[in-house]
Amino acid sequence: MQHYHYTLALVDRLWDMRVLISQLSRANATLRAQAGWPEEEKKATEAHVMYEFRNQIAIGRFKARYHKLEVNEDPFAELPSDAEVLAPMEVPFNDHPVTPPTLPPPLLCH
């Protein structure tokens, strides 16, 4: 029964966040309209907000389902294990499809 209580509490918290984000989005849109913010910046900011909101929903669902496990809530945190991975600083971009090598013709048995 306690698990059900935690689940309902998380659902309530997520609903409250959704309402708050909706109110903030409306207030933000009003301020942008008054300030004359460029459309490109508006779209980029909205995409970032949606990413953060989806991340919070995913974390909330994870905690509701696996309430005994912990989750790192900062998706951009640098971990010590990340520093050990060697990666090139620049990678050349090549979007040409790689064609497989041609196979020799099949042998005909006489």
* Tens-digit pLDDT profile for residues 65-90: 888 888 776 766 777 777 777 877 78
Q: Where does the pLDDT of residue 2 fall: very low under 50, low under 70, confident under 90, or very high at 90 and above?
A: low
Residue ranges in 36-94 assigned as alpha helix (H): 39-65, 80-83
Q: What per-residue confidence (pLDDT) applies to 110?
A: 62
Amino acid at 58: A
8 A C-beta contact, residue 75 and residue 11? no
24 or 106, which is more confident?
24
The domain locations on the chain are 2-75
pLDDT level of residue 108 (50, 70, 90 thresholds): confident
Q: 0.75 cut: is pTM over it? A: no
